[in-house]
Amino acid sequence: MDEDIEIPPFFLCPISLEIMKDPVIVSTGITYDRDSIEKWLFSGKKNSCPVTKQDISDADLTPNHTLRRLIQSWCTLNASYGVERIPTPRHPICKSEIEKLIKVSASSHQNKVKCLKRLRQIVSENATNKRCLEAAGVPEFLATIVSNNDMENGFESLADEALSLLYHLEISETVLKNLLNNKKGNDIVKSLTKIMQRGIYESRAYATLLLKNILEVADPMQIMSLKQEVFIEVVQILDDQISHKATKAAMHILVSICPWGRNRHKAVEAGAISVIIELLMDESFSSERRGPEMAMVVLDMLCQCAEGRAEFLNHGAAIAVVCKKILRVSQTASDRAVRVLLSVGKFCATPALLNEMLQLGVVAKMCLVLQVSCGSKTKDKAKELLKLHSRVWKDSPCIPKNMILAYPS
């Protein structure tokens, strides 16, 4: 488009400031481009009009056909300036059509295959269709297919497709809770755990991502009642590193479920500590901040129980790896790493361990923490660890001279 051409201001979406391709009117009377307002309302989870700041009482979007025709006419008149004509948008799918599609699919395996193929097309068109699918009960329909993934021949591939669709639907918190609380015997957590165990590469990743979303809306009792198999498969996903997203989701799951009940013990029993330490030694995992941060949060929680501290000390590189991350990743990671070292130094102190911490530079690093700019809580924990074993460490030649001055009295 020629930069000198003047675009009528009412052709521009108030959100994107670009020419509207599918103008729609919200309940406040303001017109937006459909894609922009849907992202604002449903992806951004906002319920106010961006222009008027008034609440949008009705989420229905009314097509502004008059404005769209004006925009299309203007584009045609200015084609010589490089302006491309805006195509007429397809009408969003209706709920009754989806319900009919689901009903027909129940008659045969072949119809289920056709149904999933059609649903894939509908999902890819626009965000409005996703909401319509949700209202028509598609998430529950897909979850049933996923839950029956070990039935007849050919059903597993059908379940893989249903699982992919279920993830890409980006379903709301309300529907996620409905899936979790399903009373028809379709245990979605158990089904996803099975797929994480023996599914194909992509399905294992989708199952992990969905499990993360579902557990985020679970109540404490549901989280505390999670079976050991869930922890085993989540840790296995971390160990296999099947994808960056799946690894991040698995770590996020541990962060959210480990504080509850005996979940720390379940995670330790599943081998989480050893796998996390190995991950922290992997440069690709440590290349961005968020991964090591979450890893340190999980290690801190697991080292709050005796079994966790024992497993931590059983890994030959654990102390060195955690010490190395202090002051190298973020304030959060440093704080959690110091907490981990304080836990083992406070409850597992032996002459051999204290000497190892000295030799690996833990004492020098704690002195450095006291000298640099970091959180006061982190400094307090470093000081507590140093004071705890000052008789052993304070006069050691392993501490650099410039650090001796920082050693607390």
Secondary structure (DSSP) of 344-397 = HHHHS--HHHHHHHHHTTHHHHHHHHHHSS--HHHHHHHHHHHHHTHHHHTT-T
Angstrom distance (rounded) from CA 294 to CA 331: 12
Helices (H), 87-154: 95-105, 109-125, 127-135, 138-147
Return the pLDDT at 154.
Answer: 43
CB 78 within 8 A of CB 85: no
pLDDT < 50: residue spans in the chain:
150-154, 185
Angstrom distance (rounded) from CA 293 to CA 248: 11
> Shortest CA distance to 196 belongs to which of 230, 247, 171, 146?
230
Q: Whole-model pTM above 0.75?
A: yes
- Domain ranges, ordered by start, for the chain: 9-81
CATH superfamily for domain 9-81: Zinc/RING finger domain, C3HC4 (zinc finger) (3.30.40.10)
SS3 183: coil
Q: Which two tokens stand for residue 110?
A: 């072949």
CB 81 within 8 A of CB 64: no
b/e map 190-219, b = 16+ CB within 10 Å: ebbbbbbeebeeebbbbbbbbbbbbbebbe
Rg of the chain over CA atoms, in angstroms? 28
User: How distant is the alpha carbon of residue 89 from its chain centre?
Assistant: 33
**Per-residue pLDDT reduced to its tens digit, 149-201:** 644 444 568 899 999 999 999 888 889 999 998 866 458 999 999 999 987 89
- How far, CA to CA in Å, does 16 sit from each of 24, 35, 67, 71, 324? 14, 9, 17, 16, 44
Angstrom distance (rounded) from CA 339 to CA 303: 9
